Structure 1
């Protein structure tokens, strides 16, 4: 584990959004990175758009790769490390997949041999181009690529969990071949933890790659059910961090809160700073946290059309690079982490048993018995974690994680009317 929890941002260019790769302006990028570095964070996560970089299966554009290298170097000049997402993939409600996988050339993203060859070559090329840069952290395979594999996507690329296993292992190996020894990982949206028919499973998330990544968004039903200031909303990121640990084979596997943000209108702009402060504080109370990377750096320009309304205002900085109150909250937390002002969190000794069967993972989703029981415990003042039901009686596993008590969800009392748990929105 690093000496302190790392703080960073998902870099959304202030000019042109991710379409900036089409007419790359290094001076604009440098100005963006200056405004990010001024927050005191230590890393950025960046997003080359896959169709722009590999428009043909056998063509990986050297100029585009060169622009990525320039961005990474500019970040390094400002003291920022860089994680690079490869297969973009899906961003802010838009899909970015190359034409050689769609319509007349329709081929499955996870199982077609030619597509897999092209993906592996692309990831290997990006990683190799950056392997010599000291501030290159490593590759994330892509942004929430699991959304392509099942509903509610309107045209999913269906695959079995075994096929996804093979896909993940091959793509992670390609990254390692390109840049040996770096922190290569994969990252999915929360359907991996919550959706019964998702072929991307919690076990894959918690066991493959250098660390576990979680993406926390309270527009998944949490804020709608409980409100922005409720225990479930303010602790949702911490819940996903602790939920992920149930499936990890390594009891000390680090977890990266790789995406989290304050989405309007569920979290109105005037309340975003308070939500940010609570979310960060609660995540920092999770042992084994590698880092927090906020979504996102800069607002989306109103000159760009057709984004969902919430996407325009998620930035820590405005479109003209001015910091918002949320940026100041994150900057204070990053400063406190660098100064060692917050002690490492104590182990979480109470664990909630969760179903090991991935076909039952909806029990962990908003409204499910595990979700509701977890937050009843939190509202009662406990600091719960989770453990698989198949490991709940394994003394060696429990001891390695510091767990002294295991509780079944149906054994957690329902909050009586008028109690703190009932007042704070955790009654099912």
Structure 2
């Protein structure tokens, strides 16, 4: 079981790449390593690293290698996200893809060639570093493909799959035999018209990544101490398994956090403890990577209010109560959980995936089962009668949402 954190530098946020200070990074990593965590996920800002389609800045790549080496010195492995992309409400896209040079991020041949060269270059620079886990194509790149983005780069599901396959191959060309993957925000699981589908997440790349944020309507509907809020990360892990071809494909909870004001600061540690405890009850979990290491400094303007307090540590590198929760979990021994034998049927057609989102019948039925003490997983409606598939996953009971009756608590008790 891996426990880590998404690395947001204490000084300068991700703009630290412009004035890279290895001593500051080392101090950040010392405080993270002291928590007993074993890995970080880092975010080169794409426009800073590849400001022109044919210019990948050697100095920026060297700084990334120096960060990975510094992490390894402290016992921290590193996953690198390439295309940033979207972070904390800001888009970071190079000028050669926007305005006067507006080209589709997913289908323009020159843009895709440039992206492939960039990812290949980063992967190759890190290929011989023992602490390098692998590449993630980018952070929640599916956000650019549909609404609610204000200026989306429209793409079909087939085009999205070709794009993912091309860029995963570029990562593998740069660093063979590493763990390369892609990561979508939860619209891939919940939004009917999102072209990046559950099947893409669960079948492409070395592991499935899920990002769990309860500000998606879960906490608003049910409250921070509800079954849906405290089990939301576990739900996404188990929901993803319905689409996987491999019966025991690893799932990485690559982002999860305690967003204010839905989870007030004084309750963040309790929320983290419940979230981690419940997700550790999911078989085939690769690891948990909390968002994030350090708060965003109040000296930086225009971030959503919640971003200023999401860190495990303050900007002065002091651990908060929530850091102690993750530290205790990382240092504890965790036995592999037993299989989940009850499977809830979910629609295979991605045009109906909103049924799995907050307020949908699959979502509500799953948490009614949890509230009643069950440990459910999910199965596609097209596989619900496939005895070989069910047996491979250890599923002994299949139920449909309309068979799961409401409980007196309404599935919202903790």
Normalised by the length of structure 2, the TM-score is: 0.99
Is the counterpart of residue 335 in structure 1 residue 331 in structure 2?
yes
Q: Could you tell me whether the CA contact under 8 Å between 1:12 and 1:297 is conserved in 2?
A: yes
- 2-structure distance, mates of 1:397, 1:254: 17
Q: Counterpart of 1:257 in 2: which secondary structure?
A: strand
Superposition RMSD on alpha carbons, in Å?
Answer: 0.7
- 2-structure distance, mates of 1:9, 1:238: 18
- 2-structure distance, mates of 1:210, 1:346: 23
CA deviation map 1:310-329 (0-9, x unaligned): 00000000011000000000
Equivalent residue number for residue 405 of structure 1:
397
Is the counterpart of residue 160 in structure 1 residue 156 in structure 2?
yes
Kindly tell me the number of residue pairs found equivalent between the two proteins: 414
CA deviation map 1:29-51 (0-9, x unaligned): 00000000000000000000000
Change (3 A) 1:422 1:210: closer
Q: CA deviation at 1:344?
A: 1.1
Equivalent residue number for residue 210 of structure 1:
206
- 1-structure distance, mates of 2:172, 2:238: 28
Is the counterpart of residue 136 in structure 1 residue 128 in structure 2?
no
Equivalent residue number for residue 60 of structure 1:
56
Q: Could you tell me whether the CA contact under 8 Å between 2:253 and 2:288 is conserved in 1?
A: yes
Unaligned runs of 5+ in 1: none
Is the counterpart of residue 375 in structure 1 residue 371 in structure 2?
no
- 1-structure distance, mates of 2:192, 2:413: 28
Equivalent residue number for residue 244 of structure 1:
240
Q: Could you tell me whether the CA contact under 8 Å between 1:254 and 1:290 is conserved in 2?
A: yes
- 1-structure distance, mates of 2:27, 2:265: 25
Is the counterpart of residue 320 in structure 1 residue 316 in structure 2?
yes
Q: CA deviation at 1:61?
A: 0.1
Is the counterpart of residue 388 in structure 1 residue 384 in structure 2?
no
Matching of residues 111-260 of structure 1 within 5 Å: 111-260=107-256
CA deviation map 1:271-323 (0-9, x unaligned): 00000000000000000000000000000000000000000000000011000
Equivalent residue number for residue 283 of structure 1:
279
- 1-structure distance, mates of 2:395, 2:72: 40
Equivalent residue number for residue 25 of structure 1:
21
- 2-structure distance, mates of 1:288, 1:421: 29
Runs of 4+ aligned structure 1 residues displaced above 4 Å come to: none
Q: CA deviation at 1:422?
A: 5.3
Q: Could you tell me whether the CA contact under 8 Å between 2:7 and 2:294 is conserved in 1?
A: yes
Unaligned runs of 5+ in 2: none
- 2-structure distance, mates of 1:412, 1:79: 46
Q: CA deviation at 1:420?
A: 3.6
Equivalent residue number for residue 360 of structure 1:
352
Q: Could you tell me whether the CA contact under 8 Å between 1:6 and 1:42 is conserved in 2?
A: yes
Q: Counterpart of 2:242 in 1: which secondary structure?
A: helix
- 2-structure distance, mates of 1:343, 1:22: 43
Pick from 9, 22, 36 the counterpart of residue 13 of structure 1.
9
Q: Counterpart of 1:243 in 2: which secondary structure?
A: helix
- 2-structure distance, mates of 1:422, 1:210: 34
Pick from 106, 113, 136 the counterpart of residue 110 of structure 1.
106
- 1-structure distance, mates of 2:165, 2:100: 28
- 1-structure distance, mates of 2:3, 2:119: 25
Change (3 A) 1:286 1:422: closer
- 2-structure distance, mates of 1:367, 1:126: 41
Q: Could you tell me whether the CA contact under 8 Å between 2:42 and 2:79 is conserved in 1?
A: yes
Is the counterpart of residue 346 in structure 1 residue 307 in structure 2?
no
Q: CA deviation at 1:421?
A: 3.8
- 2-structure distance, mates of 1:65, 1:39: 28
Q: CA deviation at 1:423?
A: 5.7
Pick from 95, 118, 136 the counterpart of residue 99 of structure 1.
95
Is the counterpart of residue 297 in structure 1 residue 289 in structure 2?
no
Q: Counterpart of 1:317 in 2: which secondary structure?
A: coil
